Every structure is written in structure tokens, then in C-alpha cells.
Amino acid sequence: MSHIDSQVLKTIIDTANDHFFIVDGQGSVIDVSPGAAAVYGLSREELCASTVQQLEERGILKPSVSMEVMRTGQPAQLMQQTGTGRRVIAQAHPVFIDGQLVRIVSRSMDLTDLQFLQDEYALLQQRFSEHLKRASAASIGDELELDSLQVRSGVMREIALLLKRVAPTDATVLMLGESGVGKTAFARQLHAWSQRREGPFIDVNCAAIPESLFESEMFGYQPGAFSGATRQGKAGLLEQADGGTLFLDEIGELPLPMQTKLLKVIQDGSLTRLGDTRPRRVDFRLVVATNQDLASRVEEGSFRLDLYYRLNVIPVTLPPLRERREDIPGLAELQLQRLNQRYGQHKILHASVWPELMGHDWPGNVRELENWLERAWLSAADDVIAGNMQQSPSGFAKAPDDGILLENERSPSHAVTHRLGDQETLKQAMARIEREMLARLCQQLPSTYAMADRLGISQPSVVRKLNKYGLRISHH
């Protein structure tokens, strides 16, 4: 290595946010980045005079990620508690020459500051919760101006107030909740409250983009980058979000290679298009959403731990509609207003429909409610939408002998009765019922989008379920 190259490498290590260790094949520390001393509690000279075995024995490294690489010969990642009491994510990579382990390069990212931020958020949440209990509903309504969201329940107004408080910052928000609870609507409202409101709001469904197209769609490409690339090239979705908000829905479906690339963009604030060598600066506020347990995905190895910590700064859980039925009237009226404007008519709900709307559990949440109202609006013969078996959102009844009668449809011949089989668990029964329902709809409906509309769930969720059960739509 030339003197210039060694100086470049030294500058990279000295100025990096992460803390680097370079260790030989036997565990002796060759070099560390200057910032490591503050995290690990020993001077650079003391660290370089030690081995990772000694540092682990002394409790400086708890545990040593380099020793894990020495044991396995494979890259490793783990959580450490340092001698100074700080929590870090440590990653290490082996360097082999002629089949022999000669170096281990490790870097650690300090999570303590992130933990402080999360603790502050929890305290903020508690304070606002107490504030909401003291405040009147009218004053909160005036302060929030939530007509576009139509939330009336106390829990949702509390969430909205918290989001309004964090909106002016650039902190990453993680929206959690079942499919259809309104995560996209709240992300848009967060953008509208933010200082980036004049910038773009880019909405990306990570489950809807084929993995083969993901990199070109997200990062963009230069002319001629691949066969079929447009002559002028294209800015990717990350680049399009510059100056605004990037909303990544169903983040749990992000492929692992893309997780690594997204993490690098978050850390560096820049990206490189496919077929290009020039990095481009990007500045966006990141909001992500999922209906999955990301912590479980991390344990399974399908989601990066370091990306999880980067995303889980301000976690916000939106409860399902069945736990906040006070919101149903406002959401229903808002959807009716949209439909009347879209189709140029003025239809209203018959009074007999309201008990059905309020009593239904809405497993597909707000999306299911909106889809049902649109079907009912379109099928109503006059200006009054009346409830009946064809339109009723519930249409559920209890079968004799404790069976479960699912979805009374237009004729009794379509009703399917399912009883718990011998030695069958509830989970197994539910999976069997789900598969039978999906198989029947594959025969009846022309597309996954029609199935999603019928079931009140997202189209990517339909695709995942069909793949899970090995089902395909029968093309008529």
C-alpha cells in the first residue's frame, strides 16, 4: 500500500462515526479508531497493547465480536455492553490470505444516544397522556385540526398529538399496527405537519415491488445501465424524496440486500444510481410502517439488527378499528363524502345500517370499512344505502353444534360451515379455513386486487397468503 493510500485509510478510520478495531489472526489489537477510547474506557495506546481475549476477560468487551470470528471464521454481529456501560452493535469481518485468517476488522455503533432519545420519547408520551386527560376534547380538536383523519377516540387523538409534536424534527417514525389501520394516512398527516410539507411525499409499498426491480426502482439508474433502461436514465424513489418525506410501507418485506443499501443511505446521506460512479446527496425524512413484529424478524435473521435500531426511534402503534369504535361514524361519513364527490351524487346511509357498522369487528380495519362502503354505495338502487344480507358488513352467524359459519353470501349454497376437527388446534383450523376461503375466491374472482377488495386486506397480503398455501387464480 502506498503512503497516500495508507493516509486515506487512516483518515477514513479517524473520521468515521463507527468505532473500528483491527485485530490480527491471534487476537492482538493492531489499531483502533480514536473515538473508541471514549466508548470502551481505555486509551488508544492501552487498547493497542492488549488482545481481545484480555479485553473480554477484563469486561471491556462483553463479549468480543472478533473472538466470535476467530471461532467460526465467518462474519459476526452481536450486541455489546462496554466497560463504560454503553450499548453498541458490533460487527466483525475476517480477512483471509491464502486460506489463513490474518486480520479481523470490526466496527461498533454506539446505541446509547439512541436509547436516550427513545427514553425521552417515552417520557414525552407519558407527559402528553397526562395532558390529554386534563384537556377538554374541544380544545384538543381545535389544536389538532384532524378533519382529514376523522379520529374521535381518545387513544387516536393522543397518538395524533404526539405525532404533531415530533413532526418538526427529522426523527424516524416507525408506524406499527394491523393492515388497514391508517398508517399511510397518519404518515401523510405527519408530513403535512412537518417543515418539509412543501416537499414531496413519496409512498413506497416494499411488498409490491418485485425484488428483481427493487434496486433500479429505489436507487434509479443511468442511461444504458441495463437492457431496457431509458435513454435519459431515471431518478429512483429515494432520490425523488429529496427535500420531503419518504414513507416505506411494509418495511418488513424489504429484501436483505436492500436493507443493507438503505442503511448505507441513511448513514451517509447519499446514494449512487445503477450504472453510475458519482454519489448524489439526498435529504429526506424517513417514515416506515409494518404490520409485522420486526424484533422477531431480527431474531430469525431476516431483518438487520442495526437497521432495526435505526428505524425504531419513534415507534407509534395504531390500534385496530375494533378497539376504537368511536372513530367509525366519522370515517364512514368521510368515505361517503368522497364517494358522493367522486360520482356526483348524494347518497346517505339508512339508520338501520349503523348498528351493523358499529357492531362489526372490521378485521381489515379502515380499509375494509372504506371498501364495504364503496360496494354498498355502488349497489344501492337509490339515494339511501340500506343494510341487507348482500351488503351487510357482518353477515356472520353461529352454526349449530359450535361450528363456525363463515360469510353468508348471496345464497345458502355458498355458506361454508367449519367445525374443529379431532386433534385439530385452533391455529390449524384457522389456517385450514383461510386456505379454503382463498381457494374458493381463486375460482370466483379474476385478480389478487379483486380478492383484496373482497377480503378487506392489502393486495400484497393476498399475494403472500396465496404463495403460503400454493394457490393460484383460475383464469376464466
> How would residue 404 be classed by pLDDT, with cut points 50, 70 and 90?
very low
- Say if residue 457's pLDDT is above 60: yes
400 vs 281 pLDDT, higher one: 281
- Under 8 Å between Cβ of 467 and 442: no
- Under 8 Å between Cβ of 412 and 439: no
Q: What angle do CA 419, 423, 424 make, to 5 degrees?
A: 50
Taking only the tens place, the pLDDT of each residue in 175-224 is: 999 988 989 999 999 999 999 999 999 999 988 888 778 888 899 888 86
Q: Give me the pLDDT at residue 419, please.
A: 57
DSSP symbols for 31-69: EE-TTHHHHHSS-HHHHHTSBHHHHHHTTSSSS-HHHHH
310 vs 427 pLDDT, higher one: 310
> How would residue 115 be classed by pLDDT, with cut points 50, 70 and 90?
low
Grid coordinates representing 307 are 437497521
Q: Give me the pLDDT at residue 120, please.
A: 58
What is the residue-averaged pLDDT of the chain? 80
- Phi, psi (rounded to 5 degrees) for 159: -60, -45
> How would residue 412 be classed by pLDDT, with cut points 50, 70 and 90?
very low
Residues facing residue 19 across a β-bridge: 108
> How would residue 53 be classed by pLDDT, with cut points 50, 70 and 90?
very high
State the Cα torsion 441-176-372-253 to the nearest 10°: -30
> How would residue 26 be classed by pLDDT, with cut points 50, 70 and 90?
very high
Residue type, 37: A
d(CA 151, CA 415): 35
Q: Give me the pLDDT at residue 421, please.
A: 63
State the Cα torsion 449-453-458-462 to the nearest 10°: -60
> How would residue 401 be classed by pLDDT, with cut points 50, 70 and 90?
very low
Q: Which range is least confidently modeled, 92-96, 113-117, 276-280, 460-464?
A: 113-117
> How would residue 131 be classed by pLDDT, with cut points 50, 70 and 90?
low
Q: Kindly state the average pLDDT of the residues 85-114.
A: 83
Q: Kindly state the average pLDDT of the residues 90-114.
A: 84
Q: Give me the pLDDT at residue 102, please.
A: 92
120 vs 211 pLDDT, higher one: 211
- Under 8 Å between Cβ of 262 and 254: yes
Look at strands 29-32 and 19-24 and give their pairing. antiparallel
Q: How many CA atoms lie within 13 A of 356 on its CB side?
A: 21
- The secondary structure of the chain in percent helix, strand, coil, rounded to multiples of 5, reads 45, 20, 35
- Under 8 Å between Cβ of 52 and 27: yes
Residue type, 11: T
DSSP symbols for 347-409: -EE-TTHHHHHHH---TTHHHHHHHHHHHHHHH-SSSEE---TTT-S---EEPGGG-EEE---
Q: Give me the pLDDT at residue 405, please.
A: 35
- Say if residue 406's pLDDT is above 60: no
- Say if residue 316's pLDDT is above 50: yes
d(CA 179, CA 363): 9
- Say if residue 81's pLDDT is above 90: no
- Say if residue 397's pLDDT is above 80: no
> How would residue 395 be classed by pLDDT, with cut points 50, 70 and 90?
very low
Residues facing residue 105 across a β-bridge: 22, 93
- Look-up of cell digits 444504458: 224
Which domains are delineated in the chain? 3-109 (3.30.450.20), 167-319 (3.40.50.300), 326-395 (1.10.8.60), 396-476 (no CATH)
- Under 8 Å between Cβ of 175 and 287: yes
- Look-up of cell digits 425521552: 120
- Say if residue 27's pLDDT is above 90: yes
Grid coordinates representing 27 are 487476537
Residue type, 162: L
Number of Cβ within 10 Å of residue 61's Cβ equals 27
- Say if residue 330's pLDDT is above 80: yes
> How would residue 137 be classed by pLDDT, with cut points 50, 70 and 90?
very low
136 vs 81 pLDDT, higher one: 81
CA quadruple 120, 126, 130, 132: dihedral positive or negative?
positive
Q: Kindly state the average pLDDT of the residues 446-472.
A: 82
Q: Give me the pLDDT at residue 240, please.
A: 94
- Look-up of cell digits 435473521: 301
Residue type, 461: S
> How would residue 282 be classed by pLDDT, with cut points 50, 70 and 90?
very high
pTM: 0.57
Taking only the tens place, the pLDDT of each residue in 334-378 is: 889 889 998 888 888 888 888 888 888 898 899 899 899 988 888
Q: Which range is least confidently modeled, 71-75, 228-232, 459-463?
A: 228-232
Grid coordinates representing 458 are 392489502
Q: Kindly state the average pLDDT of the residues 447-455.
A: 82
- Say if residue 113's pLDDT is above 60: no
Residue type, 90: A
d(CA 68, CA 74): 8
